Amino acid sequence: MKVQSINPATEQVNKEFETIGMKDLLAVAESSYNAFEAWGKTDLSERIKLMKVLAGLFRERKREYGKLITVEMGKPISQAEYELERCARMAETYSANAERWLADEPVDFDGKRTFVAHQPLGAILAVMPWNFPFTQIMRCAIPALIAGNTVILRHSNVVPMCALATEQIVKEAGFPENVYKTVITDHDAVKTLAKSRYISGVSFTGSVNAGKGVGALAAKHVKKFVLELGGSDPLIVLEDADLGLACTGAIRGRFHNTGQSCINAKRLIVVKAVAADFINGFVQATKAQKVGDPMDPSTEVGPLSNKQQLDIIEKQVNELVSLGAKIECGGKRMQGRGYFYEPTVLTNVNLNYVAKNELFGPVASIIVAKDEKQAIKIANKTMYGLGASIWTRDIGRGERVARLIESGMVFVNDYTHADPRIPFGGIKESGIGRELSRYGLLEFTNTKSIVVG
């Protein structure tokens, strides 16, 4: 089977790759399993040293790899380069905190020397999507590696060049052979790896249905798993919000990465008292977004990552319009080459549709709520629970409302985003477990109680 890397801005083929055969795939898994024997026992100080080297390489290569991201999945180049900067910060954060976060924890237990140790599990399978070709992988791989695990990456076949580049940069940082490996496979290979005796845990990011399948398979074979799935994140604008700031935050929160992020603000819920002013400002700001060549540093919105994503977002907008939605701006494909869709704003949207269908593209749905109470009710009426943001001048009110939102992350007067210092993950059908911070680091460790009598 061949895998094609396609430039979504030009529709030209970058390169073709052959998928790995089943025999070779299992050989990679066994090699990763065997590499864990030594890597898991390597002193933490050595792992930290290599992680610092990796951080430096990410910063040195951000232009080279930023271009690779843009050519392969269409992310605007300024955002692509920033993605590599985020990888560097992630590596630095874990380098600075690993000793403290992995330290033995003493326990007062009947006068006996008792402590909790955090030890690596083994080889971790990372099944990852295309939308953040480096950071999404590294927020699994960096904590897993520094904890002493080995990692096998099965990346999306939309970004095979990026997938191989992640292996190359880890290798150049000096990590031992087979501690981090990339495999280019078909979908069935994920099942083979997940149930293999060589794999100790699975980290999956992707759609809800695919995540349920991976979780069920991992559970059947009694393996630890973390799922980071979809989202229909609410952004709530209360009547006392600074509308200028809220509008700016909503633009960034909705259209960053061309709207292709699980934590993009998918549903903009605005209290009626300020709805007209907010909608007017947001529509004007949306029209001002620069769409075009993603290699141009001034471009803000690029193409969708592939034709399938373009077809899906077009279909979803058409379905919403058929259900009564009003197009305030945009609403169609752009002419010419590339998988471009106009930045779009919809009002009068069907609440059930936008609550259960993730709009993964440059399309914003605006919902008008009577008051705060109704805004919270609308925000929570969804199968998802990943992130949310709330805009208000009253900080105490913002915190109170944040506690009422059913999600794994809530930002007050800021758009939802990831940072290695805080845990990332959701509830309900948005996932299980956490990435990033100490919580993400401990996901793939054995929390072992040791009592010395």
Tell me whether residue 417 is in a domain.
no
Tokens matching residue 159? 């970004």
What's the confidence (pLDDT) of residue 229? 97
Identify the domain containing residue 58 by its residue range: 2-228+428-452
Name, in order, each residue with C-beta under 8 angstroms of 125's C-beta and a sequence gap of 6 or more: 152, 154, 190, 193, 194, 199, 201, 202, 203
Q: Domain containing 432 — which CATH number?
A: 3.40.605.10
Residues 46-66: tens digit of each pLDDT: 999 999 999 999 999 999 999
Dihedral (CA of 204, 208, 214, 220) sign: positive
Tell me whether residue 418 is in a domain.
no
Strand partners, 257: none
Q: What is the pTM of this model?
A: 0.96
- Residues 406 and 414: their CA atoms lie apart, in Å, by 18
Please indicate, yes or no, whether residues 148 and 266 belong to a single structural domain of this protein: no
DSSP code per residue over 93-133: HHHHHHHHHTS-EE--BTTBEEEEEEEE-SEEEEE--SSST
Active-site residue flag, 92: no
Please indicate, yes or no, whether residues 223 and 240 belong to a single structural domain of this protein: no
Indicate which residue of 83, 92, 228, 358 is catalytic: 228
Weakly modelled stretches of the chain, pLDDT under 50: none
Answer whether 25's CB lies under 8 Å from 191's CB.
Answer: no
What's the confidence (pLDDT) of residue 188? 87
Residue in the structure block whose two tokens are 């907010």: 278
Q: Domain containing 265 — which CATH number?
A: 3.40.309.10
Answer whether 144's CB lies under 8 Å from 137's CB.
Answer: no
By C-alpha distance, which of 268, 413, 420 is closest to 345?
A: 268
Answer whether 417's CB lies under 8 Å from 386's CB.
Answer: no
Please indicate, yes or no, whether residues 70 and 213 belong to a single structural domain of this protein: yes
Please indicate, yes or no, whether residues 368 and 306 belong to a single structural domain of this protein: yes
Active-site residue flag, 162: no
What's the confidence (pLDDT) of residue 360? 97
What's the confidence (pLDDT) of residue 1? 85
What's the confidence (pLDDT) of residue 187? 86
Residues 56-96: tens digit of each pLDDT: 999 999 999 999 999 999 999 999 999 999 999 999 999 99
Tell me whether residue 347 is in a domain.
yes
At 325, the amino acid letter reads A
Please indicate, yes or no, whether residues 239 and 127 belong to a single structural domain of this protein: no
Indicate which residue of 81, 167, 262, 429 is catalytic: 262
Please indicate, yes or no, whether residues 243 and 364 belong to a single structural domain of this protein: yes
- For the chain, the domain total comes to 2
